[in-house]
């Protein structure tokens, strides 16, 4: 069966510091991968998605970037965090074209920028 991991679970960082959040998927090959951000009490905002190694698409221009160095690894980064980067970050995976169209989510990372 497939599983998705995210770490760290919680992170408190000062403004201006770098960020690296990691997401890995087990039990499937060539998944589509997604990064979402959720502000408190709000819906999900798609940040980045990837359909393959090295292929990253950005949905919202901002202070963040994403990379996919391996088939089942997806990394969210920032060189200098802003207060507005605080939130709950969710990674998700899904099958590609021809799949059931469902996304499966990891446990999330709570990020607080002070």
Partner 1 sequence: AQTVTQSQPEMSVQEAETVTLSCTYDTSENNYYLFWYKQPPSRQMILVIRQEAYKQQNATENRFSVNFQKAAKSFSLKISDSQLGDTAMYFCAFGRQTSYDKVIFGPGTSLSVIP
Contacts with partner 1, residue ranges (CB under 8 A):
32, 38, 42-44, 46, 49, 51, 57, 88, 90, 92, 94-97, 99-105, 107-108, 110
* Beta carbon nearer to partner 1, 5 or 79: 5
Using the structure block, give the residue that is written with the tokens 């039990």. Answer: 27
- Is there a contact between 88 and 95 (Cβ–Cβ < 8 Å)? no
CB 37, min distance to partner 1, A: 12
Which of 70, 77, 65, 25 lies closest to 52, judged by CA? 70
- Is there a contact between 28 and 2 (Cβ–Cβ < 8 Å)? yes
CB 44, min distance to partner 1, A: 5
Measured CA to CA, the distance from residue 77 to residue 90 in angstroms comes to: 13
* Beta carbon nearer to partner 1, 17 or 30: 30
CB 80, min distance to partner 1, A: 26
């Amino acid at each position: 069966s497939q599983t998705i991991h995210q770490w760290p679970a919680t992170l408190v960082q000062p403004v201006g510091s770098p960020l690296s959040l990691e997401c890995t998927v087990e039990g499937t090959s060539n998944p589509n991968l997604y990064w979402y951000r959720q502000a408190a009490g709000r819906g999900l905002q798609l940040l980045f998605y990837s359909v393959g190694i090295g292929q990253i698409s950005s949905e919202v221009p901002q202070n963040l970037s994403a990379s996919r160095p391996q088939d089942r690894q997806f990394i969210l980064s920032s060189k200098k965090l802003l207060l507005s980067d605080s939130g709950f970050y969710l990674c998700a995976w899904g099958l590609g074209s021809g799949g059931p169209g469902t996304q499966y989510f990891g446990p999330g990372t709570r990020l607080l920028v002070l």
